[in-house]
Amino acid sequence: MRYALGVEYDGGAFQGWQGLGPSGPPTVQATLERALSSVADQEITVSCAGRTDAGVHAECQVVHFDSTAERDPRAWTLGVTGRLPPTVCVRWCVPVDPGFHARFSARARRYRYTLVNRPVRPALYRATMAWERRPLDADAMHRAAQALLGENDFSAFRTVHCQAPHARRNLQDIQVRRSGETVTIEVQANAFLHHMVRNIVGSLLEVGAGAQDEGWIARLLAGRDRTLAGPTAPPQGLVFLRPLYPAEWGLPDEVTL
């Protein structure tokens, strides 16, 4: 039987999603697989919708796994969560068709980046928000970001370590908003390159702070030169909100197009 899980985690204590072997540092994948294997009483491996970096969080990462163990969705959800550290939980479990794949069946992914914009660094939310001391013009950031919409070559916003075969991605939506001292950037695309969201945020911050004009983002995109773009934003402000799937897979509404 194949199952899909919605997994929530605080990435601060992990060296990213991907397992690094039994002697490696803690990762979300390895932690989840140990808990699943304990409940199933057999070795379980999972595939995820989108790998996250060290320090990056997830509101609803989706994974799938196969098991011959006879457990109902409630047992998987509660049993696995009971074997996970407080920083990880299973939100839901759904039996799925054997053709479902957490990564390849997804049609889009959505991220949110949140930062505190004030002269003094945050204390209360330092683990889940980044900090920018320079005053930011969120409206200018939003206008500049619209140049990224559509299918484009995002070479200017990919890390040199990115292993994707090409840099073309379809960016479907990007919004920059301010609420008091908090600035959020939400972005949705069919898929993302390694560090793509954090590199976009790092460049938008230069526009928001007035160090670059609004047209700079469009010029960066056209130039395809990572060395000319802004720095990579810190990981703690980034949350993988969810992947999105066609309704045919019968997944919860929060991950269905």
Catalytic residue numbers read 53
How many other C-beta atoms lie within 10 A of the C-beta of residue 21? 8
HEC sequence for the chain: CEEEEEEEECHHHCCCCCCCCCCCCCCHHHHHHHHHHHHHCCCCCCEECCCCCCCCEEEEEEEEEECCCCCCHHHHHHHHHHCCCCCEEEEEEEEECCCCCCCCCCCEEEEEEEEEECCCCCCCCCCCCEEECCCCCHHHHHHHHHHHCEEEECHHHCCCCCCCCCCEEEEEEEEEEEECCEEEEEEEECCCCCCHHHHHHHHHHHHHCCCCCCCHHHHHHHHCCHHHCCCCCCHHHEEEEEEEECHHHCCCHHHEC
Structure tokens at 235: 């990981």
